Amino acid sequence: MSVLRRPYVLFVALLLLVAGCSAGAAENSSPRGAAGPESSAGPATASSASPRTAPAPPPAEIPALGPQTRAQIPAEARQAVVATGDGVDSNRSVVVLYTRDDPATGWRPTAGPWAAHNGMKGWTEHHLADDLRSPVGVFGLTDAGGRLPDPGALLPYDEEPRFAVSGEGFLGEPLDGSFDYVVAINYNRVSGVSPLDRTRPLGAERGGGIWLHVDHGGPTQGCVSLPEDRMRELLRTLDPARHPVIVMGDATSLRR
């Protein structure tokens, strides 16, 4: 009997050993199998998230212009000549041409800065005839002309001998050639006619004949003047299809 039982006992022990190893392997593999997908879920979720798109920057504005001045620039304007005076009583200013080809990106400088002159006594927000101040504001630029032949202007150009001028300026400088090239500033005038037209919708007492013209080396009666080569450049650049305007005034007024 003892001889027969020993193999049987060994056989049963072997079965228990095999079964125990299988159960242990199953128990141990289950947590590892669960941990595998769980640990990989984090990176998978993060990598599938859509990248954030940075917001588009706001359109660029013309520097040194305040909200009131900017609001006066028509929405259709794509060119702006900005004449900034040194001070309310100064007759010296700086001119920069800005262009807005894409409203989404805004304004960018395309010419200048150029030294310029304005009215002898500076600037005013209520221009009157013979006050020797340039009017502050935003005005259209629709018409051009001059004593000399058209240099390639895009605006309608009136070549007329009556643009001739003589005499002396405030500093004794000769005025000859000052109106060789002009661009009418639409202050108290009718657009679509020669700069020489003297129609004054606001009345004669509010002055008129405010132009961009050739600089003669001194202050003006109320116009803004630039060197002759700069006037030619403007005439070849200002495009009626871009609805050009001039923004003009002393620096403090333009910041409002």
On whether both 105 and 72 belong to a single domain, the answer is yes
CATH number of domain containing 239: 2.40.440.10
Can you give the pLDDT at residue 56?
Answer: 78
- Please say if the pLDDT value at position 51 is more than 80: no
Answer yes or no: is 48 within a domain. yes
On whether both 41 and 95 belong to a single domain, the answer is no
On whether both 88 and 167 belong to a single domain, the answer is yes
On whether both 6 and 115 belong to a single domain, the answer is no
Answer yes or no: is 158 within a domain. yes
Tokens of 173: 């400088």
On whether both 39 and 79 belong to a single domain, the answer is no
Structural domain harbouring 12: 1-52
On whether both 232 and 126 belong to a single domain, the answer is yes
On whether both 38 and 88 belong to a single domain, the answer is no
Higher pLDDT, 56 or 155: 155
Answer yes or no: is 61 within a domain. no
On whether both 10 and 122 belong to a single domain, the answer is no
The beta strand positions in 36-181, using DSSP E, are 79-85, 92-99, 108-117, 123-124, 134-135, 137-140, 144-146, 157-159
CA dist 139 → 77, 88, 97, 244 (Å): 11, 19, 14, 9
Answer yes or no: is 62 within a domain. no
Answer yes or no: is 59 within a domain. no
Answer yes or no: is 114 within a domain. yes
- Look at the chain and report how many structural domains it folds into: 2
Task: Return the DSSP state at 60.
Answer: B
Can you give the pLDDT at residue 8?
Answer: 39
Answer yes or no: is 248 within a domain. yes
- Please say if the pLDDT value at position 57 is more than 90: no
Tell me the catalytic residues.
Answer: 213, 223
Model confidence over 164-200: pLDDT tens digits? 999 999 999 999 999 999 999 999 999 999 999 999 9
Answer yes or no: is 111 within a domain. yes
On whether both 12 and 72 belong to a single domain, the answer is no
Can you give the pLDDT at residue 48?
Answer: 52
Comparing 20-34, 102-116, 231-245, which segment has the lowest mean pLDDT?
Answer: 20-34
On whether both 120 and 25 belong to a single domain, the answer is no
CA dist 70 → 48, 74, 126, 208 (Å): 45, 9, 19, 24
On whether both 75 and 179 belong to a single domain, the answer is yes
Percent residues over pLDDT 70 in the chain? 80
Model confidence over 65-115: pLDDT tens digits? 999 999 999 999 999 999 999 999 999 999 999 999 998 899 999 999 999
Can you give the pLDDT at residue 46?
Answer: 45
Give the β-pairing of 245-250 and 79-85: parallel
On whether both 190 and 215 belong to a single domain, the answer is yes
